[in-house]
Structure 1
Amino acid sequence: MSQRAAPRTTTGQWVGRIGGPILAALVYFIPSGLHSIPGMGHRPAAAAAVAAWMALWWFTEAVPMGWTALLPLVLFPALGVFGDESVVMSVGHSALPFVDPYIFLFMGGMALGAGLEQWGLHRRIALLIMHAVGTGPRRLLFGMLAATAAVSLWISNTATAVMMVPIGMALVAQLEAAEGRRLEHFGAALMLAVAYGSNIGGIGTKIGSPTNSVFAGVVSRRLGNDVGFVEYMIAALPFVLIFLPIAWAVLWRWARKDAMGPGQGGEVIASELSRLGPLSGGERAVGGVFLVAAVLWIFGDLLRPLLAPFVALAFNGFKLAGKHYEAGVAIAGALVLLLAGRLSVAALRRVPWDTLLLLGGGFALAAGIEASGLSAWLIARLSGLEGLPALAQHGVVATVTIMLSAIASNTATVNVMLNVLPASRPLMAISTFAASCDFALPAGTPPNAIVFGSGYVRLPVMMKAGVLLDVLAALVLTIYGVTWVTWVLP
């Protein structure tokens, strides 16, 4: 029996593996301002060394990203980043971020998303949206974009793209059969709509993408306040609604090169819906639990004060913060589905659990940077950014983040950016949104890479559409940041 060959290690990965420790040593040992911060000793340099090592490994994907996330557990205690304390206490400080409530929120959200996938409810929702939008070429393209984004609000971008590609391929096949020719341009636009819809939609909710949980966790640690589920949606969802039509307009410029009649796409959608049949008991159960969880998240600010006294009484004065409440709702929903037999172990195995390590590593890095005094040093170095007009600040942050996310994963980009930016919720939010807005390269996000398997998307095509969208995203986020986000997240 033949075995699949292990993927070859690229030159860039070898450079990263060797360069990570070397870069850390240079940062740590070469004299710099990091060694002259009063009362901090070597700690800022040690935190900077670990951060440089992690950043290089993340950007080059030198080792699995979850492995990189574990470096603080070893290096922070070894280098004394948290100060003169016992090794046990230092390990505890390094490990505590790995059990941050936001990690449990994302864990529960992923489990709920796995339930939707297990019963196919997310597929039904996507098809119903496309059926409602219409079946002309323009409408089909927008329907694919909107349906993909709507699903991506609640389950991972990657899972959304994997689900929607077969639907898109079936639509293209039906249209090509009706036209009697290959629809090179429309097919590429439809596949790109899957990738771009997955990326854009994931911005809209706290559980839509790991980057959003990173943002909430870093804001909680650096600024000492929580960004609520509804507060985040109010800040992020309007951008999704604004940018979807822009993405559609750019894609339609390419798709319309295949002059088509009305086509038969509606038959494919109707056929797929018919094949699903009536709502199953599993779909009803999963949908009901998910709806209850969403309602509890939305009305959390009203319900949490009512629950807080009971939680304090039961857990010896424990203060119920917003992040604890939201994580509890997510975990409770997942447990209900699991205990009711509506969420299988097989479905849970498909969840990317290594993402939780990535989140924990990012939170641990942030904790070390803060405790060592490195954050204050970085903020002082970035004082020039704070001296710029607000429009320029947001423009620089959006542009730099989009450029970084083109060559590194979204989560890695956010983990680095949010720990070096000034402690400003609007700037940190714009960087988080921007991390999901690279549309030009397959390496930008997993959905970008997934659509290449369709056979319709070529790199020049993605770059032509994607570079324009990258520029537009930076411009829109700049204006969006100084107006809406600054007002919603002061």
Structure 2
Amino acid sequence: MSEEPATRRATTGQWVGRFAGPLAAALIYGVPSGLHTLPGLDHRPAAAAAVAAWMALWWFTEAVPMAWTAVLPVVLFPLLGVFDTDSVAVAAGRSVLPFLDPYIFLFMGGMALGAGMEQWGLHRRIALLIMRAVGTGPQRLLFGMLAATAAVSLWISNTATAVMMVPIGMALLTQLRASEGRPLEHFGAALMLAVAYGSNIGGIGTKIGSPTNSVFAGVVSRRLGTDVGFVEYMVAALPFVILFLPVTWAVLWRWARKDRMGPGQGGDVIARELAQLGPMSRGERTVGVVFLVAAVLWIFGDPLRALLAPGVARAFDGFKLGGKHYEAAVALVGAVTLLVLGRLSVAALRRVPWDTLLLLGGGFALAAGIEASGLASWMTSRLSGLESLPGLVQYGTVASATILLSAIASNTATTNVMLNVLPASRSLLAVSTFAASCDFALPAGTPPNAIVFGSGVVRLPVMMRTGVLLDVLAALLLTVYGVTWVRWVLP
């Protein structure tokens, strides 16, 4: 869900949220004072729950910019005594520390590398080459758009991917309409929905593909004390992307084929777009090499980190080089290399959504407060019945609830809330993270949905009709996928 511009008048829902957040926090904070009674909930867990409710309501209603909501723990945790210390300064430090989590720097470096690809048009060339390789018949063109969008979204933000691919989709649709001599309402809607859905699905596949994935890695590190490596995450997530893309294509093609198109002229548009890009520039080649080196270093991170760890420990007084530190360092070194070589401009960096980093930090700070206050243990004891249910019921409940919540709130806000209330199981948390990117029915579900809907090609009833079916299929596939694969890969 995109944020409201500061100059736009607040909606009724936003005004309601602005008052509902503090009110809910006050009511929850009053629970241990005798206003209400909940067994086992004393002052510190209630304080953390109050802040969590305030943040959730402001995130879900977009009452204020989401990054502003993210800094609430910095102010409220020390004031309400969430941490087990009498020193306000120490509590403030513990509230700020999550904003310096290595996973935030990993995502920062990843966004900078993505900005370099955008600056030189490398991501556009990759997408067009994939589409040309897949083929230009109507069925192949639709799958090519879906697959190319997902492939790019693995490595740069899903929002940036959608912004890039919409003009390509519109150019293809204009050419096809001219060659067919009719509006192609069904195929056009399917083609543009392929941009939105490909952006969402592809972003699931790598740790830098979407902010939700960094939230997952950070929550697992804090709640369970274990790191999820770059390759380990891909092994858990990428097969779902590969499995669900054909499912998505089949659903879209059911709608697109109603136009009964001929062979079409999509290949001409792709060839023209590639011709306009010209041969690869030196900047493209440099960015491509740096990104490829970073990807190789991430993929072979475990053995390389084992080689580096002793030297780092000697140089930095016994510092233990964790997986998240290594991955963040690779991302930042790659970004700095592009800056030093002049292949990443300040203008390109300004287009990066830096407020996302605050959003991530706020989620990590919320998780730290929930854990330190004892609220996590309290919630886990209340949700212990979920782990006693059959596996299919567990994963089905988590996937369905997350997709439903993501339909009315941003996927990052949904993940920040869900991962802090679910039982501390890596596989359950992973399935919830994947599901947060799987609302396809409403424009508000994810930024790519909103961007594509704004093109004017897709009518809301069409998005809802297609998206609800995909939501159900995603929940079903994630249920089986979680029980059979994720639970084995991330025990």
Deviations 1:339-379 (A, max 9, x none): 11000000000000000000000000000000000000000
Q: Is the 8 A contact 1:34 1:44 kept in 2?
A: no
Which residue is 1:114 aligned to? Answer: 115
In the alignment, the residues of structure 1 paired with residue 253 and residue 367 of structure 2 have an alpha-carbon distance, to the nearest angstrom, of: 42
8 Å contact kept, 1:34–1:42: no
Question: Corresponding residue for 1:415?
Answer: 416
In the other structure, the counterpart of 1:345 is 346
Question: TM-score, normalised to structure 2's length?
Answer: 0.97
The separation in 2 between residues aligned to 1:455 and 1:418, in whole angstroms, is 35
Residues 1:81 and 2:69 are matched in the alignment: no
Equivalence for 2:454: 453
**What is the DSSP-based 3-state SS (H/G/I as helix, E as strand, rest coil) of the residue aligned with 1:155?**
coil
Gap runs ≥5 in structure 2: none
Q: Deviations over 1:10-45 (max 9, x none)?
A: 0100000011000000011034555745xxx41000
Give a deviation string over 1:281-327, Cα, whole Å, max 9, x none. Answer: 00000000000000000000110010011111111111000000000
Query: 1:288: which partner in 2?
Result: 289
Residue 105 of structure 1 contacts residue 330 of structure 1 at CA under 8 Å; is this kept in 2? yes
Stretch of structure 1 that moved more, 27-36 or 80-89? 27-36
The equivalent residue for 2:105 is 104
For the pair 1:221 / 2:222, whether they are aligned, the reply is yes
> Is this contact kept in 2: 1:34–1:377, CA < 8 A?
no
CA distance in 1, matches of 2:207, 2:92: 29
1:394 maps to 395
* Partner amino acid, structure 2, of 1:335: V
- Map of 1:263 onto structure 2: 264
SS in 1 for 2:258: coil
Which amino acid is the alignment partner of residue 479 of structure 1?
Answer: V
| Structure 1 pair 223–5 and aligned structure 2 pair: CA distance change class (3 A) | closer
- Report matched runs for 1:323-362 at 5 Å: 323-362=324-363
Secondary structure of the residue aligned to 2:458 is coil
Question: What's the counterpart of residue 483 of structure 2?
Answer: 482
Is residue 93 of structure 1 aligned with residue 90 of structure 2? no
Cα deviation 1:441-472 (Å, max 9, x = unaligned): 00000000001222210100000000000000
Distance 1:16 1:173, change over 3 A: same
Cα distance change of structure 1 residues 48 and 35 upon mapping to structure 2, 3 Å threshold: farther
Deviation track 1:236-259 (CA, whole Å, cap 9, x = no partner) reads: 000000000000000000100111
How does the TM-score come out when normalised to structure 1? 0.98
Partners of 1:244 and 1:331 in 2: CA distance? 31
Structure 1 residues not aligned, in runs of 5+: none
> Match for residue 148 of structure 2?
147
Structure 1 residues 70-90: Cα deviation after superposition (integer angstroms, max 9, x where no partner): 000000000010023311100
Amino acid across the alignment from 2:367 = A
**Structure 1 residue identity aligned to 2:86:** E
Contact residue 24 and residue 50 of structure 2 kept, 8 A: yes
Alignment of 1:313-332 (within 5 A): 313-332=314-333
1:184, CA displacement in angstroms? 0.5
Q: State how far apart, in whole Å, the 1-side matches of 2:137 and 2:37 are.
A: 62
User: How far does residue 127 in structure 1 lie from its aligned partner after superposition?
Assistant: 0.1
Q: How far has the Cα of 1:5 moved from its partner? A: 9.5
Judge conservation of contact 2:136–2:266 (CA < 8 Å) in 1. yes
How far does residue 409 in structure 1 lie from its aligned partner after superposition? 0.3
Task: Give 2:157's aligned residue.
Answer: 156
- Structure-2 separation of matches of 1:34 and 1:99: 34
Distance verdict in 2 for CA 1:85–1:214, change over 3 Å:
same
Identity of aligned residues (%): 81
**Per-residue deviation, residues 382-438 of structure 1 (Å, max 9, x unmatched):** 011111111100000000000000000000000000000000000000000000000
Matched residue of 2:208: which SS?
A: coil
- How far does residue 6 in structure 1 lie from its aligned partner after superposition? 2.3
Is the counterpart of residue 429 in structure 1 residue 415 in structure 2? no
Deviations 1:196-243 (A, max 9, x none): 000000000000000000000000000000000000000000000000
CA distance in 1: counterparts of 2:283 and 2:147, whole angstroms: 25
- Residue number in structure 1 paired with 2:255: 254
Distance 2:147 2:230 in 1: 22
Letter in structure 1 aligned against 2:421: V
Partners of 1:324 and 1:118 in 2: CA distance: 27
Residues matched between the structures, number: 484
Which residue in 2 is equivalent to 1:464? 465
Q: For 1:27 and 1:373, how far apart are their aligned partners in 2?
A: 15
Q: Distance in 2 between matches of 1:135 and 1:433?
A: 31
For the 8 Å contact 1:34–1:374, the answer to whether it is kept is: no
SS of the residue 1:162 aligns to? helix
Paired residue for 2:72?
Answer: 71
